[in-house]
Amino acid sequence: MKNIELTSTTAQRIYKDYLKRVEKCLTILSKVDRQEMLMEINSHIFEGMQRFSDNNETDNLLTVLEKLGTPKEFLKPVIADKKIAQAVRTFNPKDVLQALLLNFKNGIIYSVFALLYLLLFVFVFFIAAKIIFPAKTGLFYLDDKFQAFGFIQNIDGMNDVLRFWFIPFVTLSAIIFYLLITLLLRFTKKK
């Protein structure tokens, strides 16, 4: 990677300091990924500097770097994604562990979404089960006490309180559940 040559010594020092902080954040990545990220950040800085028409290089550089943000913050998700890709490529236990630790928060969020989507598919399964096994699928009560919801083998003495309303109820529940999951996913992506 070729460093940007700035005429102002102050701007050059700020630029080099910023790149050192970037490099420090990227040490966990492979050499290839580090170089790729450095080149990309360098390119952003160069392009950002080209947008200015005034001659105050230091102010222009500070504006560009401020828009990029502190390396520790804006690189965090990028490093986590790169580390996952590296772990998948290498199967190295160290890389896998680092990827898991970097993505711990994302891992929890995506695990919750996986569970929610699994529950959504269970609703679809219940609809199919009601069509195929209408007597054994439903909302079952025994002596006015809830017993089961879904598909069960032994329905002795139980009463399906929803009967033919089971499919519309589960379909509406699945639609509402899907909309809630989608809104929740949209909310997590905005952060």
Q: What is the pLDDT at residue 13? A: 94
Q: What is the pLDDT at residue 191? A: 53
CA pair distance 113, 118, nearest whole angstrom: 8
| Tens of pLDDT, residues 173-185 | 999 888 888 888 7
DSSP states along the chain: -PPPP-SSHHHHHHHHHHHHHHHHHHTTS-HHHHHHHHHHHHHHHHHHHHT--SS-HHHHHHHHHHHH--HHHHTHHHHHHHHHHHHHHH--HHHHHHHHHHTHHHHHHHHHHHHHHHHHHHHHHHHHHHHHSGGGEEEEEETTEEEEEEE-S--TT-EESSGGGHHHHHHHHHHHHHHHHHHHHHHHHH-
Amino acid (one-letter) located at 184: L
Residue ranges in the chain whose pLDDT is less than 70: 103, 105-107, 188-191
Are 119 and 134 contacting, i.e. CB atoms less than 8 angstroms apart?
A: no
Tokens matching residue 109? 């969020």
pTM of the model as a whole: 0.55
Q: What is the pLDDT at residue 189? A: 61
Q: What is the pLDDT at residue 170? A: 94
